[in-house]
Amino acid sequence: MQGGQILQRLRDRFGGAVVDTHEHRGDATLVVDRGTLVDALRFCRDEPTLGFDVLMDLTAVDYQRYPGREDGPRFDVVYHLYSLAQNHRVRVKVRVDEDDAAVPTAVDLWPIANWFEREVWDMFGVHFSGHPDLRRLLMYEEFVGHALRKDYPINRRQPLIGPKQ
Amino acid sequence: MGVGSFFTSKLDEAIGWARKYSIFQYPFVTACCGMEYMATACSHYDIDRFGAGLPRFSPRQADVLFVVGTISQKMAPVLKRIYDQMTEPKWVVAFGVCTCTGGFYDNYATVQGIDTIIPVDVYIPGCPPRPESVIDGLMKLQDKIATQTQRF
Amino acid sequence: MAEPVRRDFMLGEGAGTGSGGQQNLHVGVGPAHPAMHGIIRIQTEIDGEFIRKADVEIGYLHRAFEKDCEVGGYNNAIPYTDRLNYVSPLINNFAYAAAVEKLLGIEVTERCKFIRTVMSEISRVCDHLTCVGASAMELGAFTVFLYMIKAREYLWELVEDVTGARLTISYGRVGGVKADLPDGFAAKMTTAFKETREVLDEVHRLLTGNRIFMDRMVGVGVLSREETIGYAITGPLLRAAGVGYDVRRAQPHWAYDRVQWEVPTQKDGDNYSRYLVRMAEMEQSMRIAEQALAMMPGGAINVDFEGRPIDPAAYVDQGKQGKTEGLLLVPITLSPNLQGQNRAAWNQVNAHDKRVVLPPKETTYGSIEGLMNHFMLIMEGYGIRPPLGEAYFATEGANGELGFYVVSDGTDRPYRVRCRPPCLPPLAALHRMIEGEQIADLIPTFGSVNMIGGELDR
Ligand code: SF4
């Protein structure tokens, strides 16, 4: 299916829950409401014409310093889906605020979401409700803060041993 | 020079000579430099010529610790522990610029030089160092081993 | 019923206090374990020889790749991408550059596409050689390792000829590549491939069908097709499980749709199938590279220095004094460091887009416009500035789908660069492959997933 058709299909199905869609540089992107996220992902996976059986990537972007988003919702959690059978892709996004940075987990749909979500929690501090084991993935437990947030300075080190700074 | 000191200095030399050609290294390989380490250790560059051909993958049986590749803050305690587990006499080689200074990873995750954690004998800079510079570093280490005061 | 084995003589907390003196033992493998190349920590719970539960911990090589990319300009991230999958750095370079090109909406030249194809495939062969060699070594087949590194050495010399470095090559550029292929590349590649094929043949005779090797590999580390897909595993592991997904075939880019090749698959999804897939892929990669090189448009680059070549230093001096008239027409011999950045080569390997690609060196030194163009791209605050937006580009890395997701805020620095690491999904599923198997099987299984720390932890 072409990107436009995929988005049309999803808009038809989820109507008001779709916040935005666009097709910048040929990447079909759907922004959904947080409450509908898991339903939308499940629909993408199970609907035969869509057939998105692989959660290729799951990440987040901190939009704190992005032009036009300074006071909008701070984080986008980004899902890249791919369908082996149909050979097409879609990007699903959900926006969350800093004070309420939590997204329902997708572990029940794809087991790989487990680690991807742990990484997003580690790097951005976005919580995934319902996640079975939300620990840091890359950094150590003693690390304070979330490194990929725009307000975390790149060289603020928190050594476990050795000289501090 | 008294007979005693003549004796010890000759003994020192003999031991130094023996030690310099029986380097049992522990390659603590973490990152990209490891690929170059492999290349150096294999037949093409053949570090066996310098008596350093046998890596011991156990710190207790090794006397040179090759720290090969970036050391992150998470890895630092592990490195320290391995160093502590090695028996004397021991030497440390910092392989690659990441281990020397942190290299171009000046960020929250990377240790800015392993000499902030453990003592280092030879630094081999390069990102990664070419096999030729590794061999050069190894020979410098041999000199150092041969000429130092031997403890046993 | 046999007496339960008493284990209270063993070390471990509370040994012997379990029911009937029987208790599982907790053993940590890694992060620096002698039998594993790569630093991860596997917390295992073993019952005798069998692993009952395993918990994999990663992050020991986290070097803040994604954060580092946000600090410099778009091209400044290229050296960092080298060090993701450091066994096949060229693929990372090109994938990142292609993602930014997609964001900019530009197309690279034909010759550049073919160069990227050839160099990516050489990189892939290096990667598979290292992977198979290292995992064979861990099973005791040291000879195989020596042979394979020997072959890799030939390929690295080839890479060095093109890029100037063996490993951390930084050869990709947004909008092109750093330099054109050197003279005599084709002949060298033929020799290197001949050597590699001989090594592969030898390794086939040593390993394929070898009783000891088969015993360790066949039926070990199995992951079902469904789980492989559920864990988003791509690349050789997916193809070993019977799914012929390959980004080069599914979404062809560069020159992959213009050459003949096959996607090797197996169906068992065990370590042995992965080995076979990798061995077959190396041959296919060489096929691709050979065809692409033969079809490469533009042919060999021969810069003709007829007329009066003037000394580059004099040329630059003249340019600085503003005497630029006619200077662009004078052929010069550039310093070898700048090789490939001369006009003739530049035209062929770079996208003709002033906003993205540095001008050829003659233009930089020979005309004020060129100099300004150069500065505009290098100076802070200028440089490559894609419009607001985001793009995801994927290519087939050595371990599977290598994707870059780049977000631009309209400035000269990437707002966010995300690398979809092909290595992470197999590691996330590693516990599924080793649970229930013997602890000795951990080693071949870990070898077959080809964990590359730089890419896994970024
Ligand atoms: S010095 Fe360079 S090649 Fe070596 S580990 Fe560091 S980044 Fe990698």
pLDDT 10s digits, A85-144: 888 899 999 999 888 888 999 898 899 999 999 999 999 989 998 888 888 888 888 888
Q: Is C385 on the interface with B (CB under 8 A)?
A: no
Give ipTM to 2 decimals. 0.92
Q: Is A157 on the interface with B (CB under 8 A)?
A: yes
Q: Which atom of ligand 1 is nearest to the CA of C63?
A: 7
pLDDT at residue A8 in the model: 87
- The letter for the amino acid at B118 is I
Distance CA C116, CA C346 (A): 15
pTM: 0.85
Q: What is the mean pLDDT of residues C65-86?
A: 87
pLDDT at C177 > cutoff 60: yes
Cβ distance of B43 and C149 shorter than 8 Å: yes
Query: Mind listing the pLDDT tens digit for each residue in C109-160?
Result: 778 888 889 999 999 999 999 889 888 888 888 888 888 888 988 998 888 8
pLDDT at C14 > cutoff 80: no
- Cα R_g (chain C), whole angstroms: 25
pLDDT at residue C91 in the model: 92
pLDDT at residue C332 in the model: 52
| B chain contacts of residue C78, beta-carbon cutoff 8 Å | none
Q: Report the SS3 class of residue B57.
A: coil
- Show Cβ contacts of residue B96 under 8 Å, excluding neighbours closer than 6 positions: B31, B32, B33, B36, B68, B69, B70, B103, B124, B125, B126, B127, B128, B129
Residue C297 CA from chain centroid, whole number: 25
Residue C137 CA from chain centroid, whole number: 22
Interface size between A and B, measured as CB pairs under 8 A:
36
Domains parsed from chain C with CATH numbers: 3-57 (no CATH), 75-298+422-457 (1.10.645.10)
The CA B97 to ligand 1 mean position distance, Å, reads 6
Task: Categorize the per-residue pLDDT at B123 as very low, low, confident or very high, splitting at 50, 70 and 90.
Answer: very high
Cβ distance of C415 and A114 shorter than 8 Å: no
User: How many Cα atoms within 13 Å fall on the side-chain side of residue A114?
Assistant: 16
pLDDT at residue C307 in the model: 33
Whether the CB of B72 sits within 6 Å of ligand 1: no
Q: Is A137 on the interface with B (CB under 8 A)?
A: no
Whether the CB of B146 sits within 6 Å of ligand 1: no
pLDDT at residue C404 in the model: 92
Query: Mind listing the pLDDT tens digit for each residue in C200-217?
Result: 999 988 888 888 888 888
Closest CA to B70 of B124, B108, B30: B30
> Can you tell me which residue has the tokens 């975390």?
A152
Task: Categorize the per-residue pLDDT at C15 as very low, low, confident or very high, splitting at 50, 70 and 90.
Answer: very low
Query: Mind listing the pLDDT tens digit for each residue in C41-74?
Result: 888 888 888 888 888 888 888 888 888 888 888 8
Decide if A95 contacts A71 (C-beta within 8 A): no
| C chain contacts of residue B31, beta-carbon cutoff 8 Å | 61, 63, 83, 86, 453-454
> Can you tell me which residue has the tokens 């894609």?
C386
Cβ distance of C39 and B75 shorter than 8 Å: yes
| B chain contacts of residue A163, beta-carbon cutoff 8 Å | 116
Decide if C133 contacts C144 (C-beta within 8 A): yes
The CA C267 to ligand 1 mean position distance, Å, reads 38
> Residues B82-86: contacts with CB within 8 Å, 24+ apart?
B82/B26, B82/B28, B82/C32, B83/B59, B83/B117, B83/B118, B85/B59, B85/B60, B86/B26, B86/B59, B86/B60, B86/B62
Query: In chain C, what are the helix, strand and coil shares in percent, each to the nearest 5?
Result: 50, 10, 40
pLDDT at residue A58 in the model: 92
Comparing C252-261, C340-349, C355-364, the range with the smallest average pLDDT is C340-349
pLDDT at residue A10 in the model: 86
Distance CA C162, CA C76 (A): 20
Report the percent of chain C where pLDDT is more than 70: 81
- Residue C121 — φ and ψ, nearest 5°? -70, -35
Whether the CB of B64 sits within 6 Å of ligand 1: no
Burial of C105 (0-12, 13-18, 19+ CB in 10 A): middle
pLDDT at C9 > cutoff 50: no
The CA B34 to ligand 1 mean position distance, Å, reads 9
Q: What is the mean pLDDT of residues C353-382?
A: 72
Query: Mind listing the pLDDT tens digit for each residue in A40-89?
Result: 899 888 888 888 889 999 999 998 888 888 887 889 899 999 998 888 89
Query: Mind listing the pLDDT tens digit for each residue in B88-117?
Result: 888 899 998 989 988 888 888 888 888 888
Instruction: Cite the DSSP H helix spans in C308-417.
Output: 312-320, 343-349, 361-366, 368-378
Cβ distance of A157 and B108 shorter than 8 Å: yes
Closest CA to C287 of C90, C117, C112: C117
Whether the CB of B68 sits within 6 Å of ligand 1: no
Show the tokens assigned to A18.
Answer: 């779709």
pLDDT at residue C314 in the model: 52
pLDDT at residue C185 in the model: 84
Helix axes C110-138, B33-41, angle to 10 degrees: 60
- The dihedral sign for the CA sequence B76, B82, B86, B92: negative
DSSP state of C393: E
pLDDT at C331 > cutoff 60: no
Q: Where are the beta strands (DSSP E) in B8-104?
A: 25-29, 64-68, 91-95
| A chain contacts of residue C393, beta-carbon cutoff 8 Å | none
Whether the CB of B103 sits within 6 Å of ligand 1: yes
CA distances from A10 to A53, A89, A94, A131, B104 (A): 16, 13, 14, 26, 45
pLDDT at residue C322 in the model: 58
Decide if C180 contacts C340 (C-beta within 8 A): yes
> Can you tell me which residue has the tokens 């000795």?
C440
Residue nearest to atom 4 of ligand 1 (CA): B33
The CA C87 to ligand 1 mean position distance, Å, reads 12
pLDDT at residue A78 in the model: 92
Cβ distance of C390 and A112 shorter than 8 Å: no
Interface test with C, best of A2, A21, A24 (most C CBs within 10 A): A24
Q: Which of residues 313-342 of C touch A (CB under 8 A)?
A: none
> Can you tell me which residue has the tokens 């992470």?
C424
> Can you tell me which residue has the tokens 């041969």?
B146
Decide if A29 contacts A4 (C-beta within 8 A): no
Residue nearest to atom 5 of ligand 1 (CA): B69
| A chain contacts of residue C227, beta-carbon cutoff 8 Å | 111
Decide if A18 contacts A11 (C-beta within 8 A): yes
> Can you tell me which residue has the tokens 């394979």?
C148
Cβ distance of A138 and C250 shorter than 8 Å: no
Bridge-based pairing of strands B25-29 and B64-68 is parallel
Q: Report the SS3 class of residue A7.
A: helix
Superfamily of the domain at A3-110: NADH:ubiquinone oxidoreductase Nqo5 subunit (3.30.460.80)
The CA A96 to ligand 1 mean position distance, Å, reads 37
Q: What is the mean pLDDT of residues C321-337?
A: 54
- The dihedral sign for the CA sequence C97, C295, C89, A53: positive
> Residues C37-41: contacts with CB within 8 Å, 24+ apart?
C37/B29, C37/B34, C37/C134, C37/C138, C37/C447, C38/C446, C38/C451, C38/C452, C38/C453, C38/C456, C39/B30, C39/B75, C39/C453, C40/C427, C40/C451, C40/C453, C40/C456
Decide if C399 contacts C420 (C-beta within 8 A): no
pLDDT at residue A80 in the model: 92
Neighbours of C223 (CB within 10 A): 25
Show the tokens assigned to A75.
Answer: 């984080």
pLDDT at C4 > cutoff 60: no
- The dihedral sign for the CA sequence B123, B129, B133, B138: positive
Neighbours of A72 (CB within 10 A): 12
- Residue A96 — φ and ψ, nearest 5°? -135, 150
- The letter for the amino acid at A59 is T
Task: Categorize the per-residue pLDDT at C329 as very low, low, confident or very high, splitting at 50, 70 and 90.
Answer: low
* Domain residue spans of chain A: 3-110
Q: Is C229 on the interface with A (CB under 8 A)?
A: yes
Closest CA to C419 of C39, C99, C176, C71: C99
| A chain contacts of residue B111, beta-carbon cutoff 8 Å | 159, 162
Query: Mind listing the pLDDT tens digit for each residue in B9-41?
Result: 778 888 878 788 888 888 888 888 888 888 888
pLDDT at residue C34 in the model: 66
What torsion, rounded to 10 degrees, do the Cα atoms C448, C449, C450, C454 define? -160
pLDDT at residue C95 in the model: 92
Task: Categorize the per-residue pLDDT at C349 as very low, low, confident or very high, splitting at 50, 70 and 90.
Answer: low
Decide if B141 contacts B122 (C-beta within 8 A): yes
